[in-house]
Amino acid sequence: MDSKTSASPLLEVVDLYTHFDTPRGVAHAVDGVSFRLERGRTLGIVGESGSGKSVLSRTIIDILAKDGSVLNQGEVRFEGRDLMALPEKDMREIRGREIAMVFQDPMSSLNPVKKIGKQITEVLVKRLGMPGAEAKRRAVELIESVGIPDAAQQLDRFPMHLSGGMRQRVAIAIALAGEPKLLIADEPTTALDVTIQAQILDLLRRQQVERNMAVILITHDLGIVAQYTDDVVVMYAGQIVESCSTEELIRRPRMPYTEALMNSAPNLADPPHTRLDAIPGMPPNLLRVPQGCRFADRCPYAAEKCSTEMPALAHDEDSSHIYACWYPLEVKEAVSA
Amino acid sequence: MSALNALLSIENMTVEYTNQGQRFAAISDINIDIAEGETLGLVGESGCGKSTTGRAIIQLPAPTMGKVTFEGRDLSELNHEEMRQVRRRLQIIFQDPVSSLNPRRKVKDIVAEPLVIAGMKDAAERERRVREVLEAVGVDPDTAMDRRPHQFSGGQCQRICIARALIMEPKLIVCDEPVSALDVSVQAQILNLLEDMKERYGLTLLFISHDLAVVKNISDRVAVMYLGKFCELADSARIYEAPAHPYTAGLMATIPDLSTIGADAGPALMGEIPSPLNPPSGCHFRTRCPHAQERCAAEEPEFRQIESGHHVACHFPLTEQES
Ligand SMILES: Nc1ncnc2c1ncn2[C@@H]1O[C@H](COP(=O)(O)OP(=O)(O)OP(=O)(O)O)[C@@H](O)[C@H]1O
Ligand SMILES: Nc1ncnc2c1ncn2[C@@H]1O[C@H](COP(=O)(O)OP(=O)(O)O)[C@@H](O)[C@H]1O
Ligand code: SF4
Ligand code: SF4
Ligand SMILES: [Mg+2]
Ligand SMILES: [Mg+2]
């Protein structure tokens, strides 16, 4: 990608690899990923389960196991500093403060038996050095800002007594407490009901705009990407296969996998019993990734070259839309006309 | 709502559970017919009673009140042996295909199990049937029969579950979120497979899901549930075009889809889903309904027909307000 375009972005991931040494071989979970994210923007990372989205986000905030099973390479530049080279002590300062994370299961970031008020004030006191009384006031504000009614009373409740949607709101309040510049939300609504999902995603967007915070929104749902992100990265088998603005991706996908992903989801505009364009087969085993294009054995356009040579990410002359494909889809201008 | 060609009828069905010592109705007083050969979709949010409905149909557990009639017989009046016979024609498949298969058994034994239970002694005939259904669901019998479930992906395990359900040549299959745990690409494979199997074996399906787009795609009619009751029932195309219940309309407005790039969808439905232990008086939906009025708290709306085949439980249906 062109590094000449601008001054240092908020986050720049450069040629990142995360492999796992497992008893059955080395799993190429994240395999040469590069992207950049500007301040105040929302980047969607979309891909099927196992494509490496969660491992990528965990690598960025450096919370993967430290037992030698994780093999890392590459750079994660946050405001120009390479987080991969930072000692854990400095990284702890960054986590929760500069970069916060919200997980699919809110309980994984909450302590089930500690009152939610205490969990929020702790962040405020520890990370921002706020005095106790002020922290308490601020906690009430935060709880209110994430749409929890009767905020003052709620501080005394335990996460285990809250519904899934309420827990996710609390997890978001805690993530926001440190006033992060970057929030990584890994499938924050996958475990929630559709009406609650809409509430949580609206909430995230409001907070993002108000705070001019950058957000990485990880999801397997292209509909969520379309509605809630500015830019998007499509992952397949540990690699980025396409990346551009969200609007561009939805209107003019170039990589066959992106098109296949869009077509396989049922479309509300179609009448009942419309035959779905399923993608045949399954993603490759990450222990034995093919040498050519990783989508080749499922791709309707695959030719000989596809299974022998891996296509690199590239873009057309007049565009920053990047994709990895030997035979990219034609641009269908007619769509918008 | 009684149809002449109903394969299955549910009348005044209530299922009660006990939670923290308190008795509550997970579904209360629901009525619906499923016509032979149709796919009825059942949508609603977590805990609204979809699975409870599906399980009550196969009498696991039997409803607390009301009755289920299948092929003209009241299931609550059958003895154990009669029920066992009926169960062959009334199958169920679940959301999590991997954990609903016994990890220690080979695929051929898993799929043949219903035949064994039904007393089929001829091993060669059993094997022939297993091969036939595995082939039908797109699993190669030669490579799959001697393997165990963990050697298959989620999508393949769901195919195996479908094969096991099909081997008894059922009339009706209750599909409880059969694609919710699968990726979109694999989800499409399974949805297409269910359509094919329906055609090939003349099945009737009750398809439970929380995904409105999936339900629209596979269903002939759709029933929407909220807190243990039906709010709306109509043809699949109709209910998406002109939802009459404010909850249905709210659900439709919250579906993020590709046509809404960057656009603000309708406002999200506010509020939390109330606990079924303590449902609101009157209309169950009134605490979140943007159209609620005094009458809604005082009086429970009846589930009534507003036009042919379109039922709604609301004092002020949206379609009536327009006209
Ligand atoms: N065995 C049980 N004992 C007590 N309560 C139960 C039992 N099974 C279900 N419930 C409760 O009954 C209600 C309906 O549950 P049900 O499983 O039918 O919901 P559902 O619509 O299938 O939800 P989901 O979308 O989460 O699968 C919920 O409040 C649930 O907690
Ligand atoms: N600790 C680990 N050890 C070995 N393999 C792992 C580990 N964590 C994740 N993986 C593998 O890495 C791949 C990517 O996983 P993940 O990032 O969780 O995918 P997703 O895109 O669904 O978030 C998967 O094949 C997964 O099984
Ligand atoms: S490189 Fe070949 S196999 Fe890969 S997506 Fe493009 S056409 Fe398909
Ligand atoms: S009966 Fe009243 S509260 Fe219930 S859905 Fe209709 S308008 Fe809303
Ligand atoms: Mg993940
Ligand atoms: Mg259920």
B5 pLDDT higher than 80: no
Mean pLDDT of chain A: 91
Q: What is the pLDDT of residue B319?
A: 82
- Give, in degrees to the nearest 5, the angle at Cα B163 between B161 and B166: 110
Which carries the bigger pLDDT value, residue A318 or residue B192?
A: B192
In a domain, B104, yes or no: no
Tokens of B204: 């009737």
Tokens of B288: 């979140």
Across residues B125-151, what is the average pLDDT?
93
HSE (side-chain half, CA atoms, 13 Å) at A126 = 14
CB B283 within 8 A of CB A212: no
Chain B contacts in chain A segment 48-67 (CB below 8 A):
48-49
CATH number given to A11-98+180-335: 3.40.50.300
CB A224 within 8 A of CB A44: yes
In a domain, B126, yes or no: no
Tokens of B267: 């406002």
Across residues A79-83, what is the average pLDDT?
95
The three-state secondary structure class of A67 is coil
With tokens 């949206």, the residue in question is B318
CA dist., res. A16 & res. A72, Å (int): 7
A215 pLDDT higher than 80: yes
The response to whether residue A293 sits with its C-beta less than 6 Å from ligand 3 reads yes
Q: Minimal CA–CA distance to A267: which of B210, B40, B259?
A: B259
Question: How distant, in Å, are the alpha carbons of A41, A322, B72, B290, B320 from that of B316?
Answer: 42, 51, 36, 11, 7
The response to whether residue A22 sits with its C-beta less than 6 Å from ligand 2 reads yes
How many structural domains are present in chain B?
1
Tokens of A300: 């309707």
CA dist., res. B292 & res. B302, Å (int): 15
Size of chain A in residues = 337
Q: Minimal CA–CA distance to A188: which of A211, A172, A207, A210?
A: A172
Tokens of B230: 């039906």
The response to whether residue A49 sits with its C-beta less than 6 Å from ligand 2 reads yes
| Domain span holding position B27 | 6-89+170-248
Q: What is the pLDDT of residue A219?
A: 94
Give the containing element (helix H, strand E) for B93: strand B90-93
CB contact under 8 A, A194 and B260: no
CB B175 within 8 A of CB B194: yes
Give the containing element (helix H, strand E) for B72: none
CB B234 within 8 A of CB B53: no
Q: What is the pLDDT of residue B304?
A: 96
Q: What is the band of B213 on the pLDDT scale with cuts at 50, 70, 90? A: very high
ipTM given for this complex: 0.90
In a domain, B60, yes or no: yes
Domains of chain A, residue spans: 11-98+180-335
CB contact under 8 A, A260 and B261: no
The response to whether residue B300 sits with its C-beta less than 6 Å from ligand 4 reads no
Across residues A217-230, what is the average pLDDT?
94
First to last CA, chain B: 25
Dump pLDDT digits (tens) for A14-63.
999 999 999 989 999 999 999 999 999 999 999 998 899 999 999 999 99
CA dist., res. B186 & res. B192, Å (int): 10
CB A36 within 8 A of CB A6: no
CA dist., res. A268 & res. A194, Å (int): 15
Shortest CA distance from A281: residue in chain B: B186
The three-state secondary structure class of B59 is coil
| Ligand found nearest the CA of B283 | 4
CB contact under 8 A, A272 and B218: yes
CB contact under 8 A, B261 and A224: no
- The dihedrals phi and psi of B143, each to the nearest 5 degrees, come to -90, -25
CB B280 within 8 A of CB B289: no
Dump pLDDT digits (tens) for A264-284.
999 888 999 999 999 998 889
CB A74 within 8 A of CB A12: no
In a domain, B155, yes or no: no
With tokens 């696991």, the residue in question is B60
| Cα A312 to ligand 3 centroid, rounded to whole Å | 11
Across residues B214-232, what is the average pLDDT?
97
Q: At B241, which CATH number?
A: 3.40.50.300
Q: What is the pLDDT of residue B265?
A: 58
Cβ-nearest to B240 among A250, A268, A279:
A268
Tokens of A330: 């034609």
- Give, in degrees to the nearest 5, the angle at Cα A86 between A82 and A89: 145
Across residues A72-84, what is the average pLDDT?
96
The three-state secondary structure class of B37 is coil
Which residues partner with A25 through β-bridges?
A22
Query: Which residues does A171 contact at the CB level (< 8 Å), separation at least 6?
Result: A102, A103, A106, A109, A110
Ligand 4 pocket test, pick from B232, B315, B319 with the greatest ligand atom count within 8 Å of Cβ, gives B315
